[in-house]
Amino acid sequence: MNTHFMGGIVVGGLKGILGDLKCEVRFDEYLSAHTTFQVGGPADVLALPKDEGELLTLLERCRSRSLSVTVLGGGANTLVRDGGVRGVVISLARSFRELILREEAKDKTFIEAGAGAKIPALVRFAAEGGWEGVECLAGVPGTVGGAVAMNAGTSERFIGDVVENVRWIRLSEGGVESLPSEDIRFGYRNAIFPEPGLVLGVVLRIVRGDKDQLRTFMQMDAKARRKRQPWGLPCAGSIFRNPPGARTGQIIEALGLKGRRAGSAEISLVHGNFIVNRGDAKASDVLSLVDTIKREAKQRIGVDLVLELQVIGEDIQ
């Protein structure tokens, strides 16, 4: 997930401004249905373009009317506040799902992946073809666009390591560009672009591997993740980044916070760095637990934990 804003304040009349677009637009749409946390208030507008033409027209309309724009990935690693999000929220999660193998030379093979492609689908696509390079994403939820924005991966390998270039749109201008990886600053759980923009797809470097070994690795990784991470309950993945030389889940467990609840939100009993929704949790419940963890870690062991979770929107007024 990546969030950006364009100048101006949404003051109303959105149906009149956007209602004639071919792009699907939903007004006053609750984003709880579009995040893995299943938490969050309404967006003034949720736009679901199905192709580049619809997207470019939508962005031009937003620019011309100074509407704020928020880009939502697959809804993983995202918490929407209870008051929702003002302006236009754009999601590519229901389109832009292409996965294409491109062999340019004997030693140059790539996968072109649309921003809306599901990460598990990308990993399977590569493994079934016997290609290495993206297995660090095994078990990661969400979409490829969100994975690029968050530089998803393991603690040692990241998607940014194999990015060749990214297809994107600058929100300030419009037009699709190819942005080489050297123009993106990939860091631990983040990627800094030259300016606010929207990722349409990515070209990933891959190399020939062993199908059987890749299949075995994926099976073992999936089994390990199911054992050490909560399954069957809505959540958003890791809440905090790992501090240097330590594991946040182990820190939270040592603080005795596993199982702590606020409303229907709970610090997972399986993994301390996950917060789960046990029914009808509110964003304020989740943020209450976040504050508790940060405070306890700072006061008791002197560790400043940094959020990996992306929080968007506003509180209920």
User: Hey, where are the domains in the chain?
Assistant: 14-91, 99-226, 230-312
- The mean pLDDT of 227-231, rounded to a whole number, is 80
Is the pLDDT at 40 greater than 50? The verdict is yes
Structure tokens at 28: 């006053």
Catalytic: which of 238, 260, 266, 268?
A: 238
Of residues 46 and 220, more confidently modeled: 46
Mean pLDDT of the 236-255 span: 95
- pLDDT at residue 142 tops 80: yes
12 confidence band (pLDDT: 50, 70, 90):
low
Q: Residue 218 has what pLDDT?
A: 79
CATH class given for the domain over 230-312: alpha beta
Task: Tell me the pLDDT band of 21, cut-offs 50, 70 and 90.
Answer: very high
Percent of the chain with pLDDT over 90: 77
Assess whether 189 carries a catalytic annotation. yes
Per DSSP, the three-state class of 193 is coil
The model's confidence at residue 10, banded by pLDDT at 50, 70 and 90, is very low
- Where are any strands of DSSP class E within the chain? 24-30, 42-48, 69-72, 78-80, 85-91, 99-105, 108-114, 131-132, 163-170, 176-180, 185-187, 190-192, 197-208, 261-262, 265-267, 275-277, 310-312
**Residue 228: per-residue pLDDT:** 78
Check whether 6 has a pLDDT greater than 50: no
pLDDT digits (tens, 9 = 90+) for 288-310: 999 999 999 999 999 999 999 99
- The residue-averaged pLDDT of 6-28 equals 77
What six digits make up the tokens of 268?
A: 């997972």
> Measuring CA to CA, how many Å separate 251 from each of 5, 106, 247?
35, 47, 6
Fold that domain 14-91 belongs to in CATH: 3.30.43
- Which residue in the list 81, 86, 167, 189 is annotated as catalytic? 189
For the question of residue 63 being annotated catalytic, the response is no
Using the structure block, give the residue that is written with the tokens 């600053």. Answer: 185
Q: Is 226 a catalytic residue?
A: no
d(C-alpha 283, C-alpha 77), whole Å: 13
pLDDT at 173: 87
SS3 240: strand
Give the global pTM.
Answer: 0.89
User: pLDDT category, 28, cuts 50, 70, 90?
Assistant: very high
What is the residue-averaged pLDDT of the chain? 91
Most confident of 64-73, 210-219, 287-296: 287-296
- C-alpha dihedral over 211, 212, 214, 215, to 10 degrees? 110
In this structure, which topology does domain 99-226 adopt according to CATH? 3.30.465
The one catalytic residue among 29, 135, 266, 308? 308
Tokens of 130: 């016997």
Calculate helix-pair angle for 211-228, 119-129, nearest 10 degrees: 150
With CA atoms as reference, report the closest residue to 127 among 5, 209, 9, 31.
Answer: 209
